[in-house]
Homo-oligomer: A and B are copies of this chain.
């Protein structure tokens, strides 16, 4: 956005002091958004090749920044993964709040939830895949666990706003379950089936 050199020729520039003959960003220029841009690039990398192939170099290439940049902003790979997870969680909660804001107050919640599940397994499938990978990645990184926990707590709280705490939690569990089972199948679950499960969980 603020970067005038969006087409960074990362592979070029072998010389130590290029003197900026091309459009590459020269060292020393500030770029405060870069950190977040790198984190988002990490999310893209996870979406494309999976969390086990996340490397500094791949992220650097995806973000269009030199390798040194990724190690400058994120001391270790785990730091980078942590930021990616946080970013993904934030983006997701933001999206959910928007969804909730547009929800018809007197509408059918079960129907809306089924719609949401199908959205996450259809148009937003890549995002869902990333989130589950990051969620699972937290298993062996204690520092990340609270991010994952906050993520599904936010989900449960959101749903609880339309019912009660216990039901909200159960709805979030069911929601995650549909996402998880749907993400490894190419065929989407039937809307009717998803909706029925939510309806039963809502107790009517």
Contacts and interface: CB of A to CB of B under 8 A. Distances in A.
Interface of A: 49-52, 129, 132-133, 135-140, 145, 148-149, 152, 166, 169-170, 172-178, 180-181, 183-185, 193, 196-197, 200-201, 203
Given A50-B140, A133-B136, A201-B201, A180 B180 contact: yes
Contact of A139 (B50, B166, B175, B181): B50
Given A170-B200, A177-B173, A139 B149 contact: no
B51 A149 contact: no
24 contacts: A50-B137, A50-B139, A51-B52, A129-B139, A132-B136, A132-B139, A133-B136, A135-B180, A135-B184, A138-B184, A139-B183, A145-B184, A149-B184, A149-B185, A169-B193, A170-B193, A172-B181, A174-B177, A174-B201, A176-B181, A177-B180, A180-B180, A200-B201, A200-B203
Contacts of A52: 51-52, 137
Q: How many copies does the complex hold?
A: 2
A107 to B, nearest CB: 21
Contacts of A180: 135, 176-177, 180
Contact of A49 (B140, B175, B183, B193): B140
